[in-house]
Amino acid sequence: RDKAQVRVWRRPGRAVDRATAEHLFEVINAREAVLRRLIRRCAYLKYVEARLGDRTLYADEILRDGFCLNMIDTPLCPLKVVTNLQEAVWDADIVINGLPSTETREVFGEIGRYWKERINPPIIISLAKGIEASLDPMPRIITPTQMIANATGVPLENILYLGGPNIASEIYNKEYANARICGSEKWRKPLSKFLRQPHFIVWDNSDLITHEVMGGLKNIYAIGAGKFPFALNHCLILLSMPHIISFS
């Protein structure tokens, strides 16, 4: 913690609904360490008021206290959260893109304006899955790392993709997981060693684009599997393998 400063950018204004606030209050009271931490920070009262319906909580506000709206049942450590995008990224050495692919181009277009005068481009690690289609000058797909490079002018050598069959709460709770970081050898080798933990194994690979596309396809098949009875899942998986191979 003494060697690194982590800033999390979150858009302001997203309200936490009453049902989620009530559930969050139960989560807080079920964990003594979390309860004591909030009391020490003089932050507990606002969760009582939200539980009673007397106050509206906001996503960026609770994230500062260590609660992510997408994983309420897994309290995190308190985080430095900023709602100003320029403050979050202007002097960052490493930027991690956790945006949906549909928003990556727009947000990094804005970030690119803040980086125009930077001498040394940052390293960008993208977690986004998904593609855009383009017809100019020929039909092709554009992946999130390519969107970032086009929007910011950061060389593709400095942009990597990190992905794997993981769930964020499981990694935080130190359940076994593995992932691949893909991109140029200059950065993927040291970053894979830096990110590797006893419970989180990170491999490295040079094939950036294929891993991005396969990561998105994997999610499509997973959603499909969730809509079929268990007995049919093996058929879906069997049919999806040739599809993945044909893309790769």
Sequence-separated (6 or more) residues with CB below 8 Å from residue 156: 145, 146, 149, 183, 184, 208
CB 180, CB 117: distance < 8 Å: no
Instruction: Say how many Å lie between the first and final Cα of the chain, rounded.
Output: 40
Q: Please give the DSSP secondary-structure letter assigned to residue 195.
A: H
Distance CA 206, CA 187 (A): 11
Tell me the residue type at 150. N
Residue 218 designated active-site:
yes
How far is CA 123 from each of CA 28, 73, 99, 126, 145, rounded to the nearest angstrom?
A: 36, 32, 16, 10, 12
CB burial of 170-181 (b: ≥16 within 10 Å; e: otherwise) equals: ebeeeeebebbb
Q: Of 3, 189, 218, 227, which is the active-site residue?
A: 218
Beta bridge partners of 141: 133
Say which residues have a Cβ less than 8 Å from residue 191's Cβ, sequence separation at least 6. Answer: 123, 125, 160, 181, 202, 204
Say if residue 137 is preceded by a cis peptide, omega within 30 of 0.
Answer: yes
Which residues are known catalytic residues?
Answer: 218
